[in-house]
């Protein structure tokens, strides 16, 4: 039957084959591009999740330190391990620098607090601002995040004299 086909019919078949291959190539490029973009997006989301978990680990260590009298003997804490998802393995290691008293100002009547603190009056209360710096390391990847947190603490005159020179 091929011997009976005219030359123009064979050329139409070649054009159809060429257009089909071109469409197949375009579809392949579109699929490859979509796959690459979705992989990049997935990596970005994973990096943001890891960053947010690292910040949460830093906040956990800072809040634990704030639970005690951090201003009496400010000291650095190194190698604090955090298991963020409670699976029994260390997810992050936090090195907390010594808290630094950045500012101290004598309290006014309106500035102390709406809560009555025993033993503090406006003449003996000091509003202090402390800076905590935590460096969080992911032991799996070695990636690090530094978190700086400021905290306000109301101290007595004697506590302020000891910790905020």
- What pLDDT is recorded for position 29? 95
CA distance 5 to 7: 7
The domain tally of the chain equals 1
Structure tokens belonging to residue 80: 């604090």
- What pLDDT is recorded for position 115? 59
- What pLDDT is recorded for position 160? 87
Pick out the chain residues at pLDDT < 70.
Answer: 1-10, 109-123
**Residue 138 belongs to what domain range?**
2-163
CA distance 74 to 45: 37
pTM, two decimals, is 0.68
Q: Give per-residue pLDDT as tens, 72-115.
A: 777 888 889 999 888 999 999 999 999 999 999 887 754 545 55
Assess contact for 125 and 112: CB atoms under 8 A: yes
* 140 phi/psi in degrees, rounded to 5: -75, -45
- What pLDDT is recorded for position 58? 93
- What pLDDT is recorded for position 31? 94
- What pLDDT is recorded for position 158? 85
């Amino acid at each position: 039957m091929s011997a009976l086909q005219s030359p123009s019919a064979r050329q139409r078949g070649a054009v159809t084959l060429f257009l089909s291959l071109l469409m197949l190539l375009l579809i392949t490029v579109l699929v490859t591009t979509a796959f690459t973009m979705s992989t990049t997006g997935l990596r970005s989301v994973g990096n943001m999740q890891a960053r947010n978990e690292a910040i949460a680990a830093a906040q956990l260590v800072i809040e634990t330190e704030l639970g005690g009298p951090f201003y009496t003997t400010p000291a650095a804490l190194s190698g604090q391990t955090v298991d963020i998802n409670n699976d029994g393995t260390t997810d992050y290691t936090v090195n907390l620098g010594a808290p630094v008293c950045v500012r101290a100002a004598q309290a006014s009547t309106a500035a102390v607090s709406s809560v009555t603190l025993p033993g503090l009056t406006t003449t003996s209360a000091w509003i202090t601002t402390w800076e905590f710096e935590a460096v969080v390391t992911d032991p799996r990847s070695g990636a690090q995040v530094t978190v700086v947190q400021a905290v306000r603490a109301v101290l007595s005159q004697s506590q302020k004299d000891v910790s905020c020179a």
